Chains A and B, each alone.
Chain A
Amino acid sequence: MTLGNAVATAMFGGVTLYALFAGADFGAGFWDLFAGDAERGAPTRELIEESIGPVWEANHVWLIFVLVTLWTGFPSAFAPIMSTLYVPLTFAAVGIILRGSAFAFRKASRTVSQRRAFGAAFASSSVITPYFLGSVVGGVASGRVPAGTRTGNVLTSWWNPTSVLGGVMAVVVCAFLAAVYLAADADRRGRAALVESFRRRAFGAGIAGGVVSAAGVIVLHGDAPDLFHGLTHRGAPLIVVSAVAGAAALALLGRRRFQVARYLAALAVVAVLAGWATGQYPWMLEHQLTISDAAAPHATLVAGLVALGAGSLLLVPALAWLLVLVQRGDLAADH
Chain B
Amino acid sequence: MTGVVGTVQPDLFYARQQMALSLGFHIVIACLGMAFPFIVVLAEWRGARTGDPVYTALARRWAKAMGVLFAVGAVSGTILSFEFGILWPRWMGRFGAVMGLPFAIEGFAFFLEAIFIGIYLYGWDRVSARAHQRVGIAIGIAGVASAFFVVAANGWMNEPTGFHVVSGKVVDVKPWAALFNSALWPEATHMILGAFIVAGCLVATPHAWALLRGRGTRYHRAGLALSLTVAMIAAPVQIVAGDWAARHVAAKQPTKLAAIEGVTHTEKGAPLHIGGIYVDGEVKGAIRIPDLLSLLAYDDPHATVRGLDAVASADRPPVNVVRTAFQVMVAIGFGLVALGAWLALAWRRRRALPVSRWFLRAAIAAGPAAVLALECGWVVTEVGRQPWIVYQVMRTRDAVSDASGLRYGYFLLLVVYTLLAGATFTVLRRLARTPLPEVGE
**Chain A interfacial positions (CB closer than 8 Å to B):** 53-55, 57-58, 60-61, 63-65, 67-69, 71-73, 75-76, 78-84, 86-87, 89-90, 92-94, 96-105, 107-110, 114, 118, 149-151, 154, 296-297, 299-300, 303-304, 307-308, 311, 314-315, 318-319, 321-322, 325, 330-334
Q: Closest Cβ of chain A: how far from B431's Cβ, in Å?
A: 6
Taking CB as reference atom, which chain A residue is nearest B83?
A93
Asked if A75 contacts B95 (CB within 8 A), the reply is yes
Query: Main SS of chain B's interface residues?
Result: helix
Q: Closest Cβ of chain B: how far from A99's Cβ, in Å?
A: 7
Chain A residues whose C-beta falls within 8 Å of the C-beta of B70 in the assembled complex: 57, 104
Interface presence of B4 (CB below 8 A): yes
Asked if B67 contacts A108 (CB within 8 A), the reply is yes
Q: Closest Cβ of chain A: how far from B400's Cβ, in Å?
A: 9
Distance of A226 Cα from B203 Cα, bound (Å):
56
Asked if B103 contacts A72 (CB within 8 A), the reply is yes
Chain B residues whose C-beta falls within 8 Å of the C-beta of A108 in the assembled complex: 64, 67-68, 427, 430-431
Interface presence of B404 (CB below 8 A): yes
Asked if A72 contacts B100 (CB within 8 A), the reply is yes
Interface presence of B423 (CB below 8 A): yes
Interface presence of B358 (CB below 8 A): no
Q: Closest Cβ of chain A: how far from B98's Cβ, in Å?
A: 7
Asked if B96 contacts A96 (CB within 8 A), the reply is no
Asked if A300 contacts B126 (CB within 8 A), the reply is no
Contact among B72, B83, B174 for A101, CB-based, below 8 A:
B72
Q: Closest Cβ of chain B: how far from A330's Cβ, in Å?
A: 5
Chain B residues whose C-beta falls within 8 Å of the C-beta of A73 in the assembled complex: 97, 100
Chain A residues whose C-beta falls within 8 Å of the C-beta of B416 in the assembled complex: 94, 97-98
Given A60-B114, A80-B89, A90-B412, A71 contacting B96 (CB threshold 8 A): yes
Q: Closest Cβ of chain A: how far from B122's Cβ, in Å?
A: 4
User: In the complex, how many residue pairs between chain A and chain B have their CB atoms under 8 Å apart?
Assistant: 250
Interface presence of B84 (CB below 8 A): yes
Chain A residues whose C-beta falls within 8 Å of the C-beta of B121 in the assembled complex: 53-54, 333-334
Asked if B97 contacts A78 (CB within 8 A), the reply is no
Chain B residues whose C-beta falls within 8 Å of the C-beta of A60 in the assembled complex: 74-75, 78, 114
Asked if A300 contacts B119 (CB within 8 A), the reply is no
Contact among A81, A86, A87, A334 for B122, CB-based, below 8 A:
A334
Interface presence of B216 (CB below 8 A): no
Q: List 16 A-B contacts (CB under 8 A).
A: A57-B71, A57-B114, A58-B115, A60-B75, A68-B81, A80-B93, A97-B79, A151-B89, A154-B405, A300-B97, A300-B98, A303-B176, A311-B105, A315-B115, A330-B123, A333-B121
Interface positions of B from 79 to 111, Cβ below 8 Å from A = 79, 81-86, 89-90, 92-98, 100-101, 103-108, 110-111
Taking CB as reference atom, which chain B residue is nearest A14?
B107
Distance of A69 Cα from B424 Cα, bound (Å):
31
Interface presence of B76 (CB below 8 A): yes
Interface positions of B from 123 to 156, Cβ below 8 Å from A = 123-124, 126-127
Interface presence of B401 (CB below 8 A): yes
Interface presence of B173 (CB below 8 A): yes
- For chain B, give the interface size range: 35 or more
Interface presence of B403 (CB below 8 A): yes
Chain B residues whose C-beta falls within 8 Å of the C-beta of A321 in the assembled complex: 115, 119
Chain B residues whose C-beta falls within 8 Å of the C-beta of A67 in the assembled complex: 81-82, 85
Chain A residues whose C-beta falls within 8 Å of the C-beta of B100 in the assembled complex: 68, 71-73, 75, 296, 300, 304
Query: Main SS of chain A's interface residues?
Result: helix
Interface presence of B175 (CB below 8 A): yes
Interface presence of B285 (CB below 8 A): no
5 closest A-B pairs (Cβ-Cβ)? Answer: A82-B85, A72-B100, A75-B96, A79-B93, A104-B71
Given A101-B72, A154-B403, A300-B175, A75 contacting B112 (CB threshold 8 A): no
Asked if B72 contacts A86 (CB within 8 A), the reply is no
Given A57-B71, A83-B402, A303-B176, A331 contacting B126 (CB threshold 8 A): yes
Chain B residues whose C-beta falls within 8 Å of the C-beta of A118 in the assembled complex: 423
Chain B residues whose C-beta falls within 8 Å of the C-beta of A68 in the assembled complex: 81, 100, 103-104, 106-107
Given A93-B82, A104-B71, A331 contacting B119 (CB threshold 8 A): yes
Chain A residues whose C-beta falls within 8 Å of the C-beta of B174 in the assembled complex: 299
Q: Closest Cβ of chain A: how far from B147's Cβ, in Å?
A: 15
Distance of A93 Cα from B123 Cα, bound (Å):
30
Asked if A299 contacts B175 (CB within 8 A), the reply is yes
Given A83-B86, A94-B413, A331-B126, A75 contacting B94 (CB threshold 8 A): yes
Q: Closest Cβ of chain B: how far from A66's Cβ, in Å?
A: 9
Contact among B75, B98, B105, B122 for A97, CB-based, below 8 A:
B75
Q: Closest Cβ of chain B: how far from A315's Cβ, in Å?
A: 6
Given A78-B96, A325-B127, 16 more pairs with CB closer than 8 A = A57-B118, A61-B114, A67-B85, A69-B104, A79-B89, A82-B89, A90-B409, A96-B75, A98-B416, A101-B71, A101-B72, A107-B67, A110-B430, A149-B89, A154-B404, A314-B112
